[in-house]
A = this chain, B = another copy of it.
Amino acid sequence: MKKRGLIAFFLVTFFALLTQIYFADEGMWPISEIHKLNLNAKGLEISPDEIFSPSDLSLIYAVVQVGATGSFVSPDGLIITNHHVAYRPVQAASTKEHDYVKHGFLAKDRSEEIPARGMTARITESFRDVSGEVLSVLKEGMDRVERTKAIEKRKKEIVARTEKTNPGKRAEVSEMFSGKSYVLFLYTHLKDIRLVYVPPRSIGEFGGDVDNWMWPRHTGDFSFLRAYVAPDGSPADHSLKNVPFRPKRFFQVNANGVNEGDFVFMLGYPGRTYRHQTSHFWAYDEEVRMPYVVDWYGWQIALMEKMGEGDREIALKHLSRIKGLSNTMKNYQGKLKGMKRLGLVKTKKEQEKALQEYILADKDRTERYGDLIKKMGDIVEDMRERAEYELILNYLGRSALLTSLGCTAYEASIERAKPDLERESAYMDRNFSRTKQRLFLSLRNYYEPTDKAILKEMLQRATHLPEELQIPAVTAIIKDKGPKETIETFIEDAYSRTKLNDEAVLKNVFTKSTEELMNMKDPFIQLAADLYPTNLLKKEADKARKGLYDQLYAQLLDVKQEFLKTDFIPDANRTLRLTFGRIRGYRPMDAVYYKPVTTLDGVLEKSTGEEPFDTPEKIFALYKAKDFGRFAHPDSKSLPVCILYDMDTTGGNSGSPVLDACGQLVGVNFDRAWEATINDYAWSASYSRSIGVDIRYVLWVTQKYGGVDYLLKEMGIPE
């Protein structure tokens, strides 16, 4: 395609897109904003006060953050979330004899519920703006690093003070617009979460990586958990004396579900979006960061798949990591395709051009903002130059488990020696046990040949960095011999001598001082020590960059707000948000229409008998008998399985309740359509569609397949 043709085409598409972006129902709205939305005019049939008002009865108290999102669906702390959100604890609880991933898990009564290891639950209790208090620490003449550090310190102080006056609660200061606005959230934090009912992966993960990020979808991606507290109602670690948590509010389940065109809304904890970033930042992601990650994750997946060939046990060890890597990789591939197809960077550049014209049209504005966009571009230019170096440094310390163990242990010894408030977040008292727990869980799936191959590849990539960006720790390994043989020798020696992969040793490691650690003479502690100064320099550089960027970013928002005469919604940041829309299909390409409700027919059509399409025989029998109970779709003779809607979601919204006009639960959100992976950058009325499992399928599987009638009773489903 010739350039001029391309441009012509994009101009057409992009004006269409512009219209959509600015006039459609985009938005992950902070709870503080929902009263501005006029939701009743949009289709909501209850008062917005029911969703949130400072009363104790608000629906927001039925929403729970469990890594991603979940919902209370009974007065006894019953939580519904996604199968994939509960995947790690289910895997951790599985043994050769009891493979809960494969066969699912069912507690016949509460005494049979087992701990969901590593899982906690947070409930948003309250929030208030603390921007003034945070920004008051900034003083004239502070340099960039000082600015960042001062803000970080003030945030920690506010958190510490709040938690002190609210014993048992967790506090967090979230950056809404970085450098500009900050909100203090107070959370109830529950630590005893248990598995109640988890369908087998042939239902809960039906379609696997093949269908991931795809519509039409047929995945029963749900699980039931339960939160427990001490008999006095306070959050407590797991104990048999604990009693079910009684949430302030839980969602009524509407067993009739919703249908095409119905109004729906969602509450949840979306993770991260970049909608307010500049075109330079988007271009960096599109041209540099995401292609690198896609390549590196793809390399690791190929390696792990090869390692697992012909040995089911080794393959199982890699399963969870492959799942994680491939999830991100496919997401990025979708984003890259979408960004290109919609010409997002071009669109953003046009917007910035218009903004720049607005700035230059006024002398005062020119003085204040004239070189703002250029300066922000310069920062990204610097990021581009150092991108490969920074990516390699990052993955060198993270991708192989043993370097990750070594680096964490070494860094812990240094950070833990500081006063709590001055430590990096992962090493603060409130987070440290979780940091360690994650490492111990990873160790369960450790497989030496894979770990060696990953480290080897990363070291080799590091040797190809330009002269001036060589990493001293890597240079030390290569010394004066050729890179290939010395890397291999180093790896063979290091893996044969290390003790860090011994769980008993690892436990002790986190109590040692830096000196004691070094005395262990462990090669991965040594490597960590060699990498530490380089990482420290990088962290300082990051802070300097953030200090400057945040300052500019705040100015950018000011002038954009002035220009467009509108308020903005902050980018997603793992705080509670509301989004709304309708059950709606879409046109993924010319002459194709995707309907917004899939059925059990599709499950059977896709079933091949082989993973990930290995539907259990009982489902076939129920299908043949047309035994859909009360859950059949009114328009069809089949059973709804998944639903599609044009709400605005991103990662972190997994497990979020899909709620009907009356605020009753009709589905559990779990994914986006391939074309909607671009949500992180821009929302599109044509393409932004998210996917939930239909409550009718959840209830049908639970009752007819799982035989767990008591859960339907507990949720108050009429018979």
Q: What is A's interface to B at a CB cutoff of 8 Å? A: 1-2, 4-6, 8-9, 11-12, 215-216, 218, 341, 585, 589-599, 601-602, 604-610, 614-617, 619-621, 623-624
Residues of B within 8 A of A9 (CB): 604, 607, 620, 623-624
Residues of B within 8 A of A8 (CB): 620-621, 623-624
13 A-B residue contacts at CB 8 Å?
Answer: A1-B614, A1-B617, A5-B615, A9-B607, A9-B620, A215-B591, A218-B590, A341-B605, A589-B605, A590-B598, A590-B601, A591-B594, A591-B597
Q: Which one of B341, B592, B608 contacts A593 once the chains associate, using CB atoms below 8 Å?
A: B592
Establish whether residues A216 and B6, one from each chain, have CB atoms under 8 Å apart when the complex forms. Answer: no
Establish whether residues B604 and A589, one from each chain, have CB atoms under 8 Å apart when the complex forms. Answer: no
Establish whether residues B607 and A1, one from each chain, have CB atoms under 8 Å apart when the complex forms. Answer: yes
Q: CA separation between A619 and B596, bound complex, in Å?
A: 34
Q: In the complex, which residue of chain B has the Cβ closest to the Cβ of A4?
A: B617
Establish whether residues A609 and B1, one from each chain, have CB atoms under 8 Å apart when the complex forms. Answer: yes
Residues of B within 8 A of A605 (CB): 341, 589-590
Q: Which one of B598, B604, B609, B619 contacts A591 once the chains associate, using CB atoms below 8 Å?
A: B598
Establish whether residues A216 and B593, one from each chain, have CB atoms under 8 Å apart when the complex forms. Answer: no
Q: CA separation between A199 and B422, bound complex, in Å?
A: 71
Residues of B within 8 A of A1 (CB): 607-610, 614-615, 617, 620
Q: How far is the CB of A543 from chain B (nearest CB, A)?
A: 41
Residues of B within 8 A of A619 (CB): 5
Q: How far is the CB of A220 from chain B (nearest CB, A)?
A: 15
Number of copies: 2
Establish whether residues B614 and A12, one from each chain, have CB atoms under 8 Å apart when the complex forms. Answer: no
Q: In the complex, which residue of chain B has the Cβ closest to the Cβ of A599?
A: B590
Q: How far is the CB of A608 from chain B (nearest CB, A)?
A: 7
Give the most central of A11, A601, A619: most B CB within 10 Å: A601
Q: How far is the CB of A342 from chain B (nearest CB, A)?
A: 11
Establish whether residues B602 and A590, one from each chain, have CB atoms under 8 Å apart when the complex forms. Answer: yes
Q: CA separation between A62 and B294, bound complex, in Å?
A: 56
Q: Which 4 A/B pairs are nearest by Cβ-Cβ distance?
A: A590-B602, A5-B620, A1-B609, A216-B591
Q: CA separation between A610 and B6, bound complex, in Å?
A: 12
Q: In the complex, which residue of chain B has the Cβ closest to the Cβ of A601?
A: B590
Residues of B within 8 A of A5 (CB): 615-617, 619-621
Q: CA separation between A186 and B413, bound complex, in Å?
A: 95
Establish whether residues B594 and A592, one from each chain, have CB atoms under 8 Å apart when the complex forms. Answer: yes
Give the most central of A11, A590, A597: most B CB within 10 Å: A590
Q: CA separation between A621 and B606, bound complex, in Å?
A: 42
Establish whether residues B598 and A595, one from each chain, have CB atoms under 8 Å apart when the complex forms. Answer: no
Q: Which one of B6, B595, B606 contacts A592 once the chains associate, using CB atoms below 8 Å?
A: B595
Q: CA separation between A341 and B218, bound complex, in Å?
A: 18
Q: How far is the CB of A705 from chain B (nearest CB, A)?
A: 13
Residues of B within 8 A of A607 (CB): 1, 9
